Amino acid sequence: MEISGKTKIVGIFGYPVKHTLSPIMHNAAFTDLGIPYVYLPFEVKPENLKEAIAAIRVLRLAGINLTVPHKIEAIRYLDEITREGELIGSINTIQNKDGKLIGHNTDGKGFVASLKEDLGFNPKDKHVLLLGASGSGRAILVELLLQGAKSIVISNRTVSRGIGLVQEFSKKFSKSTLSFTPLSDLKKKVSFSQIDLLINSTSLGMKGEEFPDLPLPSLPPASIVYDIIYSPLKTKLIEAADRLGLVTKNGLGMLLHQGSLSFQIWTQRRPSLKIMQNAIIEAINKPGEG
């Protein structure tokens, strides 16, 4: 990759940020398209976020991704945010449009794009079980509601957070039915035979954990089990669903599609998902990586 005075800089703000795979997939796509961009990781402490965002204008960066812990706080320092960003209450992408900083959230859109393009699944009028109610879960929830999901059961360890989501979004999306069930009561209170899509948006599974008492055999044969974890590529949840012959998808699809959307916001070009995917898988499979 040749760097010159014409090279446009994008990157990611996070703390910590050294383990991010975003530079790998974006730089692979820039090289593939032959466009003068480079993607860099920037370790930004929370107390320095305001100055870092101001530097986007000063240094004329083309855009920035945001990761933990900056997705919510960054909104304070922007000129504008999209509807999805407002509903979710967080952003993961900043676009520098001639000095105007616009906040986007591509997480939920990336998830739904993966459903539609990778699996041929449209969430409209479908019944969904969403495990997890944190940042990623909230982004996925908002996009599923915007897409017209018929019903969504939210299940989360923190009861107050799950109930809060139901109360907040039931008012905004009256055509969809929202409810909450604690993780410990899923087997007793949720009719798994009616679920079209089961999503794990929690971190459970990254270290080989299993979901206790999750009655996967009760899911319909055509249902989808989607785990947003991508390292490892196959969690215990995915393995269990595979053994039952269910359609499964890991979080690599969501990662690629949300990254592709950010890429398009900055460059107005569509990257090769295959190139990005190969770069990420190679990095994950390297000893000590992923």
Kindly list the catalytic residues: 71
**Residue 172, amino acid:** K
- 218 CB-contact burial (10 Å; exposed 0-12 / middle 13-18 / buried 19+): middle
What DSSP string runs through 104-165? Answer: E--HHHHHHHHHHHHH----TT-EEEEE--SHHHHHHHHHHHHTT-SEEEEE-SSHHHHHHH
**Which two structure tokens, joined as six digits, stand for 169?**
């979004």
**How many beta carbons lie within 10 A of that of residue 87, not counting itself?**
22
Is the peptide bond prior to 16 cis by the omega test (within 30 degrees of 0)? yes
Q: Is the dihedral of CA 76, 80, 82, 87 positive or negative?
A: positive
Q: Which of 92, 87, 70, 110 is nearest to 230 (CA)?
A: 110
**Cα(173)–Cα(275) distance, integer angstroms:** 37
Secondary structure (H, E, C), 171-235: HHCCCCEEEECCHHHHHHHCCHHHCCEEEECCCCCCCCCCCCCCCHHHCCCCCEEEECCCCCCCC
